Chain A
Amino acid sequence: MTAKKNRSYELIVKSETSQLVAIRDFISEKAKENLIQDSILNAIILAVDEAATNIVKHAYNYNPENTINLKLIISDKDCTIVLTDFGKSFDPSVIPQPDMKEYLSQHRVGGLGLLLIRTLMDSMEYIVSPEGFNRLILKKVFDKAVV
Chain B
Amino acid sequence: MAEFQIEKREVSEVDIISLHGFLDAHTAPQLESVFTSLIDNSKYKIVIDFQNLKYISSAGLGVFMAFIETIRENSGDIKLSAMQPNVFEIFDLLGFPMLYEIFDTTEEAINKFITN
B-binding residues in A (CB < 8 A) = 16-18, 20-21, 24, 42, 45-46, 49-50, 53, 56-57, 100-101, 104-105, 107-110, 112-113, 115-116, 119, 147
A50 touches B93 (CB 8 A): no
A100 touches B26 (CB 8 A): no
B62 touches A18 (CB 8 A): no
**Known contacts being A108-B65, A109-B62, is A101 close to B3, with CB within 8 Å?**
no
Look across to chain A and name the residue whose beta carbon is closest to the beta carbon of B99: A104
Look across to chain B and name the residue whose beta carbon is closest to the beta carbon of A42: B86
Q: How far is the CA of A57 from the CA of B90 in the complex (A)?
A: 22
Question: Which residues from A are CB-within-8-Å of B74?
Answer: none
Within the complex, the shortest CB–CB distance from A43 to chain B, in Å, comes to 9
Q: How far is the CA of A137 from the CA of B88 in the complex (A)?
A: 27
A104 touches B57 (CB 8 A): no
**Known contacts being A21-B3, A46-B90, is A104 close to B26, with CB within 8 Å?**
no
Residues of A contacting B: mostly: helix
Within the complex, the shortest CB–CB distance from B71 to chain A, in Å, comes to 11
Within the complex, the shortest CB–CB distance from A13 to chain B, in Å, comes to 12
Within the complex, the shortest CB–CB distance from B56 to chain A, in Å, comes to 9
Question: Which residues from A are CB-within-8-Å of B96?
Answer: 104
B38 within 8 A of A: no
Question: Which residues from B are CB-within-8-Å of A21?
Answer: 3, 22, 24, 26
Question: Which residues from B are CB-within-8-Å of A24?
Answer: 22, 55
Question: Which residues from B are CB-within-8-Å of A108?
Answer: 65
**Known contacts being A104-B99, A107-B68, A147-B86, is A53 close to B94, with CB within 8 Å?**
no
